[in-house]
Amino acid sequence: MFSSKQYSWCDITISFGGRIIDGVTEVEYTEKKEKDLLYGRGCKPHSIVSGNRSFDGKISIWQSELEAMTRDAANKDILSLDFDIIVAYVPKDGGQIVIDILKGVQFTEAKKGMKQGDKNMIVELPILFLDVKRQQ
């Protein structure tokens, strides 16, 4: 038997820098592995070969969270930060708890922007990281 429990946004807690981030509105992380077809005699591939892995994603946060990180970062430079992100899926109804840890995270850019009618600023921060430890 297996559980087909679906997680919702309400089940997710995201933390980094030693604290839970209340002002997070989106998280996305991807693990990729280079794969190519291996050709030899004939017109069809003989195998699939693989190479390096890579890890990237993004996190979207309130501007106030960005300003707090900037204030606390050395030289006020969040692009120099190096940290882990913990993404915990904790269902309120007692289903399976899943914790993924993104290791060695760094932001690749920090871009601010607002337009007329916005009630608050959401800042999308693209990330690169070294590894993902799944179901910790």
Q: What is the per-residue burial (b if ≥16 Cβ within 10 Å, else e) of 42-55?
A: eeeeeeeeeeeeeb
pLDDT tens profile 68-82:
999 999 999 999 999
Q: What is the pLDDT of residue 105?
A: 98
Question: Residue 106: which of 81, 131, 69 has the closest Cα?
Answer: 81
- Average confidence score pLDDT of the chain: 94
pLDDT tens profile 105-128:
999 999 999 999 999 999 999 999
Q: What is the pLDDT of residue 92?
A: 84
Asked whether the predicted pLDDT for residue 4 surpasses 80, the reply is no
Q: What is the per-residue burial (b if ≥16 Cβ within 10 Å, else e) of 91-123?
A: beeeeeebebbbeebebeeeeeeeeeeeeeebb
